[in-house]
Amino acid sequence: MKTFSLFLFVFLCKCSVAQDAESPFNKYGPLQAKTFSSFEEAMKSKDDVYKLQSENEDLSKDIQKIKRLPHLQIAVLRNNRLSTLPTEMGALSELVYLQIAQNPLQHFPTSMVNWQLLEVLLLQQSALDSLPSEMATLLNLQTLQIHSNSTDTFRVGAAISKIPKLRSITIYNSNLHGFPRSITKCLQLKEVTLVACKIKKISTQIGNLQNLQTLILEGNTIETIPTSLFDLVQMKSLSLKDNNIKIVPEEIALLKKLELLDLRGNPISSTDIDLLRALMPQCKIMF
């Protein structure tokens, strides 16, 4: 099994609900608000619930009751036997952070259009075949992460290209079978991570992402780098680790702000690496 780089390690750490300064429960919602760790307990304090962390509770029959938590801002639902989210979830109009993990989730309710304050959406170990069209209505969504989606093919769809504030998208261990073109239309993106997604080619439209600073395309089967990638003049970090790239065009030196280039796990000659290091003295090249 291939070992992914420090980028992926950092990503997985961010996805975990750790009780430290980076925990979403410390970052979002009222600072002094209690974090309820039991759904049943939260139901007893409906108007005082801003933060909910429900893990290993079977909510398949009771999840519709979540509408009784009108002030819920942070919700982490892990291993709750949820294959779908009920329409009642639309009542969570103050939701800012939503993480759904280890649930066989297949569908989102159309009522998600009411999540106008949602900034972060994390979907881990779900069973989605595509992102819902209603996602285009999430006007404040900034971070989208999809981790280990289990379906044979996962389609990102066109909806994300209409999210005006989307800054970061991460898709890990999900069967994309291609670089999603809709991502190249998210012009405000600063970070794109597509790891172990069976991508063979980088879209030639990648050059549209003029604000992109971090691009991680590890563990795919990419063989060539399109010249349009060299238009990304704001790029600081680029990881192409564990692909099938044999040649890196000298034009990559046009990325003057590039600080880190990870080429480990590619069949590139050491001579070519030495040339790149000479052309890009400001950049740390890992090989």
Q: Is residue 37 part of a domain?
A: yes
Determine the pLDDT at residue 31: 87
Which structure tokens are listed for 238?
A: 């680029």
* Cβ–Cβ under 8 Å, residues 141 and 118: yes
Contact at 8 Å (CB) between 29 and 51? yes
Query: Does the pLDDT of residue 12 top 60, yes or no?
Result: no
Domain of residue 170, residue span: 6-243
How confident is the model over 174-199, as a mean pLDDT? Answer: 95
- Listed in sequence order, the residues at least 6 apart from 271 whose beta carbon sits closer than 8 Å to its beta carbon are none
Which one, of 173, 186, 108, 166, lies nearest residue 146 by Cα?
173
Select from 283, 253, 179 the least CA-distant residue to 223: 179
Q: What's the whole-number mean pLDDT along residues 227-235?
A: 97
pLDDT at 10: 44
Confidence (pLDDT) at 9: 42
Q: Report yes or no on 250 lying in a domain.
A: no
Q: What are phi and psi of 241, to 5 degrees?
A: -60, 145
What's the confidence (pLDDT) of residue 177?
Answer: 76
State in Å, rounded, how far the first CA of the chain is from the last one: 18
| Structural domain contains residue 259 | no
Residue 208 within any structural domain of the chain: yes
Q: Tell me, yes or no, whether 254 lies in a domain.
A: no
pLDDT at 182 > cutoff 90? yes
pLDDT at 234: 97
DSSP classification of residue 119: -
Q: For residue 22, what pLDDT is reported?
A: 75
20, pLDDT greater than 50: no
pLDDT, tens digit, for every residue of 94-143? 999 999 999 999 999 999 999 999 999 999 999 999 999 999 999 999 99
Indicate the pLDDT class of residue 61, thresholds 50, 70 and 90: very high
Q: Which of 223, 277, 220 is nearest to 252 (CA)?
A: 277
- Count up the domains in the chain and report the number: 1
The answer as to whether 272 is a domain residue is: no
Within-domain flag for 276: no
89-96 CB contacts, 8 Å cutoff, 24+ apart: 89/63, 90/114, 90/115, 91/66, 91/67, 92/66, 92/67, 93/117, 94/70, 96/28, 96/29, 96/120
Higher pLDDT, 17 or 276: 276
Q: What is the pLDDT of residue 178?
A: 87
Residue 239 tokens read as 């990881």
Percent of the chain with pLDDT over 90: 89
CATH number for the domain spanning 50: value is 3.80.10.10
* Per-residue model confidence (pLDDT) at position 16: 42
For residue 3, the model assigns a pLDDT of 46
Q: Is residue 198 assigned to a domain?
A: yes
| Residue listed under structure tokens 């294959």 | 83
pLDDT tier, 2 (very low <50, low <70, confident <90, very high otherwise): very low
Tokens describing residue 45? 């304090």
The stretch 15-40 carries a mean pLDDT of: 78
